[in-house]
């Protein structure tokens, strides 16, 4: 993957070096340059704009705490993608815990005639199905089809062998056929 540059021509590696040294402007420029990428990955992972915004903000906060740990041995975007997926998984676990509390609130709201919040935007059926895949299959699909990475690049991000990514994609396609068919029947 090539290093990104901005209108001033400063490559990511230069901004990273300055950010590691405590240059807040360089860090802000780095975040600004990659925020849309982080948000896009987060949205594709969770499917809700508000959650994707929360995830992207948390990625920015964690990036500030962990930029010094970026060793530069791989592409910054690869490292940032992995960071984003970790935050998205953490957020997903948090949402699951909170959904149990929300179910109790729903019973309370119905019993007392209180209004329930409006549902978030309805995501595209295919992405909705992708979000139901097991984590590794979902990661492989997002990396290969959404981010247009090769199986080899996806394997590097996922920390596995290239044939493993291919297997996850194969299994995901089988499962997606079933999930999309079920969604069409609903």
5-44 pLDDT tens trace? 445 568 888 999 999 999 999 999 999 999 999 999 899 8
Nearest to 59 by CA among 33, 29, 81: 81
Fold of 1-118: Rna Polymerase Sigma Factor; Chain: A (1.10.1740)
Q: Is 54 left (phi over 0), alpha (psi -120 to 50) or beta?
A: alpha
Predicted local distance difference test score (pLDDT) of residue 99:
62
Contact between residue 81 and residue 147 where contact means Cβ atoms under 8 Å apart: yes
Common-topology check for domains 1-118 and 122-186: no
**Rounded Cα gap, residues 156 and 151, in angstroms:** 9
The domain 122-186 is classified under which CATH number: 1.20.120.160, 1.10.10.10, 1.10.3470.10, 2.60.120.10?
1.10.10.10
Q: For residue 108, name the pLDDT band (cuts at 50, 70, 90).
A: very low
Domain map (residue ranges) of the chain: 1-118, 122-186
């Amino acid at each position: 993957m090539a290093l990104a540059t901005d209108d001033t021509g400063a490559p990511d590696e230069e901004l990273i070096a300055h950010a590691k040294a405590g240059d807040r402007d360089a860090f802000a420029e780095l975040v600004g340059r990659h925020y849309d990428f982080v948000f896009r990955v987060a949205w594709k992972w969770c499917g809700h704009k508000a959650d994707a915004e929360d995830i992207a903000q948390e990625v920015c906060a964690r990036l500030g705490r962990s930029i010094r740990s970026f060793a530069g041995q791989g592409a910054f975007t690869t490292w940032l993608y992995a960071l984003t997926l970790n935050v998205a998984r953490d957020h997903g676990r948090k949402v699951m815990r909170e959904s149990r509390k929300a179910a109790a609130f729903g019973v309370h709201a119905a019993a007392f005639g209180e209004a329930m919040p409006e549902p978030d935007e309805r995501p595209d059926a295919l992405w909705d199905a992708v979000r139901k895949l097991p984590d590794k299959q979902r990661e492989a699909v997002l990396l290969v089809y959404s981010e247009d990475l090769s199986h080899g690049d996806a394997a590097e991000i996922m920390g596995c062998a290239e044939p493993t990514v291919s297997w996850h994609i194969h299994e995901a396609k089988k499962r997606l056929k079933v999930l999309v068919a079920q969604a069409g029947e609903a």
